[in-house]
Amino acid sequence: MANPWRGDVALVINDERHVMRLTLGALAELEAGLETGSLVELVQRFEDGRFSTRDVLALIVAGLRGGGWTGHAPDLLSAEIEGGPVGAAKAAAELLARAFMLPEAANDGV
């Protein structure tokens, strides 16, 4: 089960449920893989609605890797993601939000 207090986000890929999480290692891998900018700039792109499909894919891969997945980005190129591109973008944005949410803010939503 996905635990939102730990930063987990669930995503169904090819009819299989995966739990994603942006661990420190996953964030480091994500930042190293960004073609331009930093994580702060990535967050700003999502907040401004200026993110690319490359951003979404990079976040999904990092989240999956943080959740224990051993695959690679090319494995997802022909994958069926529940909710399609919009579902993937929502999951990516949720990953970012949960990774950088302060515990006090999480408790405010209860």
pLDDT tens-digit map of 2-28 = 676 678 999 999 999 999 999 988 888
Give tens-digit pLDDT for 70-103.
998 999 999 999 999 999 999 999 999 888 876 5
Whether residue 108 lies inside any domain: the answer is no
Tell me, yes or no, whether 46 lies in a domain.
yes
Give the residue from 37, 61, 71, 65 showing the smallest Cα distance to 51.
Answer: 37
Which is nearest to 76 in space by CA: 93, 68, 86, 88? 88
Let me know if residue 61 belongs to a domain: yes
Whether residue 71 is contained in a domain is answered as yes
9 assigned to some structural domain: yes
Q: What is the pLDDT of residue 19?
A: 96
Task: Tell me, yes or no, whether 110 lies in a domain.
Answer: no
Domain span at residue 22? 4-101
In DSSP terms, 11 is beta-bridged to: 18
- Does the residue 42 lie in any domain? yes
Residue 86 lies in a domain: yes
Looking at the 3D structure of the chain, how many domains does it have? 1
**What's this model's pTM, rounded to 2 decimal places?**
0.84
Q: How far is residue 29's CA from residue 70's CA, in Å, rounded to a whole number?
A: 13
How far apart CA 3 and CA 99 sit, in angstroms, is: 12
